[in-house]
Structures are given as structure tokens and as C-alpha cells.
Copies of this chain bind each other. A is one copy, B any other.
Amino acid sequence: MKIAVLAGDGIGPEIIAQAVRVLDVLKKDGLDIEIEHGLIGGCAVDVSGEPYPDATHQLAAQADAILLGAVGGPKYDVLPRALRPERGLLAIRKALGLFANLRPAILYSELSEASSLKAEVVAGLDILIVRELTGDIYFGDPRGIETRDGQRVGFNTMIYNESEIQRIAHVAFQAAQKRNHKLTSVDKMNVLECTQLWRNVVEEVSKEYPDVTLSHMLVDNAAMQLVRDPKQFDVIVTGNMFGDILSDEASMLTGSIGMLPSASLDSNNKGLYEPIHGSAPDIAGQNIANPLATILSIAMMMRYTFNLEQAAQRIENAVRKVLAQGLRTRDIVSQGTHILGTREMGDAVLSNL
């Protein structure tokens, strides 16, 4: 089990350090884990002049799984477009063909107060967003800013071909089979031909999954329904751009994005695992960041890449116990609970492992 660890910027190194301690425990308990560290994002630009240096690509390409912290920070905002830290993220996704982004939005019962939504609307929330990650307007050509007839014009291309849609649809249907057998595909077919094809192809693929109930929803309606009644959803599948927006909206429904991991898989279940939150430069280096989303990313890694469901649940249970013990980092604290620092939260998880 070769794992490439890319801590990145901001709070990245701190939260990754706690997750690596979890990997160390799994290793001590018998898993054949080999860890190598690499650079991505701003710290990579600092050292090599590029947000996704070739050395990191070599490392990541040879690994079975990648654990990533977070990238970006104000220091890098002045860099030209091609060198911005988030380019590192886009580059590794594309270079490794990590087309299937799985983003669970789960509300832990202990944290239900944290949501800005009424308790009855979100209690027990457990949805999975499957976002296509290597296509769409993110990568389409032509793109750019040009002067035409004396005016600047900015343009991008939204594009999907049927095989790209098929493969993400299969991932989504199979995820739904392991859950509540309900899949909602989100598009804007009433306006965009690209997403009309999306709907057609998802419909075709559905024939292979008679045990999954498929429905379609327009993206504007989906943005509303997530607010109105998020528990109506089981699995949502959508393109890269809509997925970016809806998955962030969905995660904020929980009020505790410091708790949410994500997986980005290729067609062989090789995956990149990362917390969905950002690099939070304002709190970096203060030992107050929440390491739980990163630790839960390892659970997803065990489940999806290594097919070790037991190891996954062991980690998830340890996290649940920590919450049940009333232990919290600052971002998820509430009355009657106890604040821990980043490292101390790592300790707490380890002692429950």
C-alpha cells in the first residue's frame, strides 16, 4: 500500500500530521503501508516554481493512493494564473484521471446544532454527491480572454462526450446500489445541449441498474431542494461545474465542514483523498484546525482504494466516539463540550482507535 502524502499549504501540514499518525497505527497493526511525502500547491511553487512539479507527479503516479491536505494562501494570490496553487489540484486530477469525486455530506448527530438549518430538516442527513472531476467547462477548449472588435471577450467551453458521462454514471449507480438505491442526476437540459446529452446518457446507463430509482433534476431546482428538504436525496450525480457548487452547498448544510472528507477516484479505484475544506491560512500554525476531515479521508481511502471496509469503520467509529465523549476542535464546539487543539484531537482519535 503505497501512499503519497501531499500536505500542501496553510493548515495542511498540521492536519496531515494527525492523519499520518492514524496511518502509523494501521501500519503497526499489520497493514503494509509505505508513505512518501511530496509537494503540491503554493509550497511546491516556493520550492520548484510549479504548483504540480514533475517529481510530485512521479510520486503520485506510482502510489496506490494519495492523501492531500489543502492548497492556497494569500501569499500566492499575486501569482500568474498558471502558477496558482489550485492549478496543482486541477493538474493532479487531470494527470491521474481522477474523474470520480465522491463527496459525502453527513450530519453527525452530536453536531446537529452546528447547522444553520432547523434540526428536523437536517437530522440524520446522509447524502453522497458524485461529481465528475476531469471534464466539463473546467478543461474544455477553446478558452481564454481575447480582444475582438476592440473589446475584451472572455470565453470557456462546456463539453462532455458520452464515454465521460457513462463512466461517472456507472460510479454513481454503483454507489447508489450500496446505499438507498436512489439516484438524482442534475443537469440544465432545458438550456444547455451539453447537459441534454448528460441526461440522455445517464438514462441509457440506468438500464443496467434496474434496482436503482433514477430521477432527473434541473440544477436551479437542485440548489433549492438542497435547502428545502435535503433528506429527499440519497446519491446525486452531476458534472464538474454544477458539482462544485452543489457539493459545497450540501456540505454547508451540515454546518461542520471541518468533518467532511472526499475521494477522487480513477477507473481502477486509485484515489486522491482530501478534506473538503480549504487551507484556512488565517488559522495556520496555531494548533486549532480540525484534523477530523483529513482523518476521515483515510477511512474513505481504506474503503475505496484498498477495499478494507473494517479498517474504514474502525477509523469512523473512533471519530464518532471522540464526538460522543464531547471532544471538539474550536470550529465545532458547542455548549457543554470540551475544546481540543489539532494535536490533542489526534491524540483523542488515536486513543479510541
Interface residues of A (CB under 8 A from B): 81, 84, 86, 90, 116-118, 121, 137-138, 140, 143-145, 148, 151-163, 188, 190-198, 200-201, 219-221, 223-229, 241-242, 244-249, 251-253, 255, 257
Kindly list chain B residues whose C-beta atoms are within 8 Å of the C-beta of A219. 244-245
The distance in angstroms between the C-alpha atoms of A16 and B159, with both chains bound, is 40
Q: Which of B86, B145, B158, B253 contacts A227 (CB 8 A)?
A: B253
Q: Is the interface of A mostly helix, strand, loop or mixed?
A: helix
Q: Which of B121, B145, B224 contacts A193 (CB 8 A)?
A: B145
A117-B116, A193-B144 given as contacts; is B84 within 8 A of A154 (CB)?
no
The distance in angstroms between the C-alpha atoms of A157 and B193, with both chains bound, is 10
Q: Is the CB of B224 within 8 A of A251?
A: yes
Q: Is the CB of B244 within 8 A of A220?
A: yes
16 A-B residue pairs with CB within 8 Å: A143-B193, A148-B161, A154-B192, A154-B193, A154-B196, A154-B197, A155-B159, A155-B194, A156-B157, A156-B192, A224-B252, A226-B249, A227-B227, A227-B252, A228-B255, A245-B245
- How many copies of this chain are found per oligomer? 2
A226's nearest neighbour on chain B, judged by CB, is B249
A161-B151, A227-B227, A227-B252 given as contacts; is B195 within 8 A of A220 (CB)?
no
Q: Is the CB of A155 within 8 A of B158?
A: yes
Kindly list chain B residues whose C-beta atoms are within 8 Å of the C-beta of A137. 137, 158, 191-192
Q: Is the CB of A156 within 8 A of B193?
A: yes
